[in-house]
Structures are given as structure tokens and as C-alpha cells.
């Protein structure tokens, strides 16, 4: 039989990067923040659509309550983080619709 040599030994292994508990906590928080931002954006969109539905119901009765318009202005005035390109585009469309409805009623928020 042919002389089979033993496998060559690896001279050195690559050093392992040490993960500290702080690194792990920061990584978890960044994932949580991203998900929290999306959750807040979805909630904002849902709130605005619910108020717009209320305005539609008011129009069927013949009068839009000032409280609904105030609720739209208040919800629109809250700062919104940009989190997801697709979600942001949908929210932009909803907010544009809200601004149109407010303008129809003579309200022009400047934020």
C-alpha cells in the first residue's frame, strides 16, 4: 500500500469575536425598535382610517362633528418615524386623504 501521511495540523484557528452582554442587548433593542416603529405606523394608519370612516358616517347624517376634525388634526400632528418604504408610502397616501378632508372643511394644518 502507498504510504499515507497524516493530515496536516492547522497551525492556528481564527480568533473568536467575543459577544458581550451589552452587544446582545443593543442588538435586541434595535430589532425591537424597528418592529415597534412598524407597529406604531400601522396603528397610526388604522386610527386615521377609523376617523375618516366616522366622517363618512357623519356625512350621511348631514354634519361632520368638530370633535372628529380635531381628532384628525391631532393624529396628523404627531411626528411619524419613517420605518419601512412600503408602509411609509401607504401612510403618506392616508395622510394626504386626511389633509384633503380637512381642507374641504376649511382646516389647513401647517405641520
Q: Name the pTM for this structure.
A: 0.65
- Count up the domains in the chain and report the number: 1
Residue range 69-103, pLDDT digits in tens: 999 999 988 888 887 888 899 999 999 999 999 99
* Angle 52-58-61 from CA coordinates, rounded to 5°: 155
Q: How far is Cα of residue 32 from the mean position of the Cα atoms in its chain?
A: 12
Residue 63 lies in a domain: yes
Spatial CB neighbours of 41, under 8 Å, sequence gap ≥ 6 = 80, 81, 83, 84, 87, 88, 91
Q: Is residue 74 one of the residues assigned to a domain?
A: yes
Would 70 be classed as within a structural domain?
Answer: yes
Whose grid coordinates read 388604522? 46
Amino acid at each position: 500500500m502507498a504510504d499515507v501521511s497524516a493530515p496536516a495540523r492547522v497551525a492556528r484557528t481564527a480568533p473568536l469575536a467575543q459577544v458581550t452582554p451589552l452587544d446582545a442587548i443593543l442588538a435586541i433593542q434595535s430589532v425591537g425598535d424597528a418592529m415597534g416603529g412598524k407597529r406604531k405606523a400601522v396603528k397610526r394608519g388604522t386610527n386615521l382610517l377609523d376617523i375618516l370612516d366616522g366622517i363618512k358616517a357623519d356625512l350621511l347624517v348631514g354634519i361632520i362633528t368638530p370633535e372628529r376634525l380635531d381628532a384628525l388634526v391631532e393624529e396628523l400632528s404627531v411626528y411619524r418615524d419613517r420605518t419601512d418604504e412600503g408602509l411609509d408610502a401607504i401612510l403618506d397616501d392616508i395622510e394626504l386623504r386626511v389633509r384633503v378632508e380637512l381642507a374641504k372643511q376649511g382646516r389647513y394644518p401647517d405641520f
